[in-house]
Amino acid sequence: MSALPPYASPLQRTWYYSFRVICGLIFFFLIFPILVILPLSFNAQDFFTFTKEMLALNPAGYSFKHYQDFFTNPDWQQALTNSVMIAPVATLLATSFGTIAAVGLSQSHVPYKPAIMAVLISPMIVPLIISAAGMYFFYSRIGLQGTYWGVVLAHSALGTPFVIITVTATLVGFDRSLVRASASLGANPVTTFFKVQMPLIIPGVVSGALFAFITSFDEVVVVLFLGSAGQKTLPWQMFTGLREQISPTILAVASLMVAISIVLLTVLEMLRRRSERLRGLTPG
Amino acid sequence: MSDTTAGQVLTTKDGKPLKAALARALRREKLRSLALIAPLLIFVLLTFVAPIVDMLFRSVENGIVEETLPRTVAALRVWDPESAQVPDEAVFAALYGDLAVAVEEKKHTRLGSRLNYEESGISSLFRKTGRRVNRMDEAGPFKEQFLDADDKWGEVATWQVLRQFSPRYTDGYFLNAFDAQRTADGIQMKPEDERIYMLLFGRTLFLSIVITVSCLLLGYPIAFLLAALPLRSSNLLMILVLLPFWTSLLVRTSAWKVLLQQQGVINDFLVWTGLISDASRLVMINNQTGTIIAMTHILLPFMILPLYSVMKTISPTYVRAAKSLGANDWTAFWRVYFPQSVPGIGAGAVLVFILSIGYYITPELVGGTSGIFISNRIAYHISSSLNWGLAAALGTLLLVAVMVLFVVYDKIVGIDNVKLG
């Protein structure tokens, strides 16, 4: 597939180019819906489609009014504040519990490992609607339903599997003799962890934290059931906006979120490269 | 370590047997790893597993009848539901005693709405009777007074429902979830036009299969291309796969809402090109088409990534060998390359299928009434109809389906091999 040989028959030539066209169309399908909302969010009208002025590239057809609405409307600002209050705390909880557990899981003799792993991964496997239903029933029994901490705890539980997976993946390439060397030089386990192990697994920890962050920041089903009006997050506000009074401000928010995902993607890619570079240096 | 000769037990320097010392070290290592895992394990058990178990429990729990009407339930034990006769005065007297307490604590309406799921009309019966109970003559006879309050107390069916749901645990919610009901002749399917849950489960399965197949059809060529291209260009194209993967679900759903609407971008474009007339704009949203298109787009990266990681490991020499042995392009692909990519297909397909059968947000927003899934019904029972028991039973069934699929996934991929990004 990589390159067309000079002796290729006309049929092979046709197939080669039509396959590329097909792939191009599928890539278009993947990326177009995300790109199309960017220009639409600058629409001067309250429409969800391109106006004549926009197509003629007339500046009058474009405006920042939907962005302005997002930054001035108290509903959206409250939602943004709530999201910013919930996601980092949930990320912190998930990352700290998850990293410690991943270090434990990567030891050579862990009893009942498959069972423990199944429990720890389960929040990722169980459909969100079932998690939401179960948490709603259970948290209302213990008085956490409709509270800030209820949402934070639920979101951190949902985020931990991602931390476990990314951190254990980085620990696979971790050279155990470094721990022994550090111990033989007199460091206690805590010092060893923070001075030797942590700097090497930090890419895995950060990408796990990013996954946990985006899980919480993007989560709508659980917060819809567990939260009360006081915990209305950005995705929740978007969800109600899409379902009831559809306003183009959603497109402005969506464009901002696309920008956030581009930043996240770049950071993750950089981390991956760094981790690969580091792993190239250590044997095994 | 001391010198060893045949027959002597190996010991460490301080004189302990080596075996015991090693076992002790191993035990300590095990304990240390467990101590590291314990905080998270307890955290997940409390915040996640306990709620799921609670939900399973709730799907069979039915304490409300016995809690609200303890004496009536006791009195009803001796009544024969097959007798076609309304219970005698003793039962009515017990009912009076129970209801007086329940009305005082305002619990009778909750019981009424609980039993209303099984037989419509009972909710109003309890509310109506609740208003009359305080004015009843405490000396009795109660049977006449209750019949006077509402004729329904004179119907055997009412009592049958009450007795049937008096045990602490019930299979009623599950029967309901299977569109069945308990009648006088045992368990029977509900009438044809009332069977909504099996229809919804069937539709959820069908749509998930359609979505999985379309993800496979679109994802296979992309993964193939990415695996075949040199690393530099494939990394660049990978961004086109990863950007949707990282973009918020709601952003993508709102994008599809914008595109597919009747006044949306796609319809406008088609009208502008003259392919369709302004009057015959396509209806692509709020129906199954909308759900299928949007969810295929959302889940496509979950198909491409596992396929890609498997295809990356297929050595190109096999295909070259097949060609040098005289196979044409198609034979070389179909007989040599494709069989090696099957594990990737399995992993991707099961993953997409697991994710899609539990989807809630996208069907809710673009599915209308014909494109919704069983999860939307679960959400409806939690927040609108408040029939939590039925929601729990439906959730349990869905959970069982996902667990079975997950075991399959574990067999194909292995739980430790899950990779992200």
Cβ within 8 Å, pair A121-B32 = no
Domain positions in chain B are 9-58, 63-170, 197-417
**For residues B416 and B306, is the Cβ–Cβ distance under 8 A?**
no
Which residues of chain B have a CB within 8 Å of the CB of A36?
A: 255, 258-259, 265
Cβ within 8 Å, pair A258-B247 = yes
Q: What's the token pair of residue B361?
A: 């947000």
Between B18 and B1, the more confident residue is B18
From the list B125, B129, B104, B99, the residue with the least C-alpha distance to B113 is B125
**For residues A157 and B47, is the Cβ–Cβ distance under 8 A?**
yes
CA distance B89 to chain A (A): 38
Name which of B44, B225, B300 is nearest A160 (Cβ-Cβ): B44
Q: What's the token pair of residue B410?
A: 């574990």
CA distance A31 to chain B (A): 6
d(CA B209, CA B204): 9
The dihedral built from the CA positions of residue B338, B341, B347 and B351, taken in this order, carries a sign that is negative
**For residues B344 and B311, is the Cβ–Cβ distance under 8 A?**
yes
DSSP type of residue B416? G
Between B236 and B222, the more confident residue is B222
In B, minimum Cα distance to A239 occurs at: B250
Which residues of chain B have a CB within 8 Å of the CB of A109?
A: 26, 29-30, 33
Cβ within 8 Å, pair A104-B225 = no
Between A56 and B126, the more confident residue is B126
**For residues B344 and B338, is the Cβ–Cβ distance under 8 A?**
no
Summarize pLDDT for B290-325 with one digit per residue, the tens.
999 999 999 999 999 989 988 988 888 999 999 999
Mutation site, B28, B42, B47, B308, interface A, largest A CB count within 10 A: B47
Name which of A30, A36, A211 is nearest B240 (Cβ-Cβ): A30
The dihedral built from the CA positions of residue A34, A35, A36 and A41, taken in this order, carries a sign that is positive
Provide the angle, in degrees to the nearest 10, between the axes of the packed helices A65-72 and A74-105. 80
Q: What's the token pair of residue B291?
A: 């759900």
H-helix or E-strand spanning residue A190:
helix A189-192
For residue B122, is it left (φ>0), alpha (ψ between -120 and 50) or beta? alpha
User: Could you tell me where in chain A the CATH 1.10.3720.10 domains are found?
Assistant: 75-281
CA distance A248 to chain B (A): 10
pLDDT at res. A243: 84
Strand partners, B181: B188
pLDDT at res. A284: 32
d(CA B95, CA B91): 6
pLDDT at res. A235: 92
Q: pLDDT confidence of A283, banded at 50, 70, 90?
A: very low
From the list A159, A149, A139, A144, the residue with the least C-alpha distance to B40 is A159
Taking one residue from A and the other from B, the number of pairs with CB-CB distance under 8 angstroms is 271
- DSSP for B243-293 reads HHHHS-HHHHHHHHHHHHSTTSHHHHHHHHHTSS-GGG----SSSHHHHHH
d(CA B307, CA B298): 16
When mean pLDDT is compared over B71-80, B137-146, B246-255, the highest value belongs to B246-255
> Strand B186-189 relative to strand B180-183: parallel, antiparallel, unpaired?
antiparallel
**Residues B250-275, mean pLDDT to the nearest whole number:** 88
pLDDT at res. A282: 43
Which residues of chain A have a CB within 8 Å of the CB of B258?
A: 36-37, 40, 48-49, 251
Summarize pLDDT for B97-124 with one digit per residue, the tens.
888 888 888 888 888 888 888 788 888 8
B22: helix, strand or coil: helix
Kindly report the CATH number that applies to the domain delimited by B197-417. Answer: 1.10.3720.10
pLDDT at B240 over 80: yes
Q: What's the token pair of residue B202?
A: 């069937």
Q: Which segment of B43-47, B128-132, B183-187 scores lowest on mean pLDDT?
A: B183-187
Cβ within 8 Å, pair A119-B41 = yes
Q: Look-up: residue for tokens 């305080």?
A: B134
d(CA A106, CA B399): 29
Cβ within 8 Å, pair A107-B32 = yes
CA distance B77 to chain A (A): 31
**For residues B227 and B234, is the Cβ–Cβ distance under 8 A?**
yes
pLDDT at res. A168: 87
pLDDT at res. B193: 78
Between B416 and B22, the more confident residue is B22
When mean pLDDT is compared over A33-42, A91-100, A106-115, A184-193, the highest value belongs to A91-100
Cβ within 8 Å, pair B240-A15 = no
pLDDT at B399 over 90: yes
Name which of A26, A34, A168 is nearest B243 (Cβ-Cβ): A34
pLDDT at B1 over 50: no
Cβ within 8 Å, pair B263-A250 = no
Cβ within 8 Å, pair B54-A138 = yes
pLDDT at res. A94: 96
Name which of A33, A157, A265 is nearest B256 (Cβ-Cβ): A33
One-letter amino acid at A110 equals V
Q: What's the token pair of residue B105?
A: 């604590």
CA distance B150 to chain A (A): 35
Q: Look-up: residue for tokens 């309250």?
A: A46
Give the CA angle between residues A180, A185, A186 to the nearest 5°. 100
In A, minimum Cα distance to B216 occurs at: A26
**For residues B122 and B112, is the Cβ–Cβ distance under 8 A?**
yes
Length of chain A: 284
Cβ within 8 Å, pair B36-A100 = yes
d(CA A80, CA A234): 5
Q: What's the token pair of residue A36?
A: 């199309």
Cβ within 8 Å, pair B264-A49 = yes
**For residues B123 and B103, is the Cβ–Cβ distance under 8 A?**
no
pLDDT at A149 over 90: yes
Q: What's the token pair of residue A92?
A: 């912190």
- The C-alpha torsion from B134 through B140 and B141 to B142, rounded to 10°, is 30
H-helix or E-strand spanning residue B189:
strand B186-189
Domain A75-281 has CATH 1.10.3720.10: yes
ipTM greater than 0.90: no
Cβ within 8 Å, pair B255-A34 = yes
When mean pLDDT is compared over A7-21, A144-158, B146-160, B260-274, the highest value belongs to A144-158
CA atoms within 13 A on the CB side of A153: 23
Name which of A23, A109, A117 is nearest B225 (Cβ-Cβ): A23
d(CA B257, CA B368): 12
Cβ within 8 Å, pair A264-B246 = yes
Contact partners, residue A201, CB within 8 Å, separation at least 6:
A99, A167, A170, A171, A174
Q: What percent of chain B has pLDDT over 90?
A: 33
pLDDT at res. B395: 93
From the list B307, B400, B399, B312, the residue with the least C-alpha distance to B347 is B307
Q: Look-up: residue for tokens 């962050």?
A: A213
Q: What percent of chain B has pLDDT over 70?
A: 96
From the list B299, B298, B300, B268, the residue with the least C-alpha distance to B284 is B268
Between B277 and A245, the more confident residue is B277
Summarize pLDDT for B148-166 with one digit per residue, the tens.
888 888 888 888 888 888 8
Q: Which segment of A19-23, B12-16, B221-225 scores lowest on mean pLDDT?
A: B12-16
Which residues of chain A have a CB within 8 Å of the CB of B250?
A: 218, 220, 235, 238-239, 242, 254
Distances in Å between the Cα of B188 and the Cα atoms of A224, B11, B192 are 36, 73, 11
**Residues B42-68, mean pLDDT to the nearest whole number:** 90
pLDDT at B39 over 70: yes
**Residues B278-297, mean pLDDT to the nearest whole number:** 90
pLDDT at B25 over 60: yes
In A, minimum Cα distance to B241 occurs at: A30
Summarize pLDDT for A29-46 with one digit per residue, the tens.
999 999 988 888 888 887
Cβ within 8 Å, pair B255-A33 = yes
Cβ within 8 Å, pair A130-B251 = no
H-helix or E-strand spanning residue B188:
strand B186-189
Mutation site, A7, A55, A137, interface B, largest B CB count within 10 A: A137
Q: Is omega for the bond preceding B39 within 30 degrees of 0, making it cis? A: no
DSSP type of residue B8? P
A48: helix, strand or coil: coil
Q: What's the token pair of residue A24?
A: 């191009």
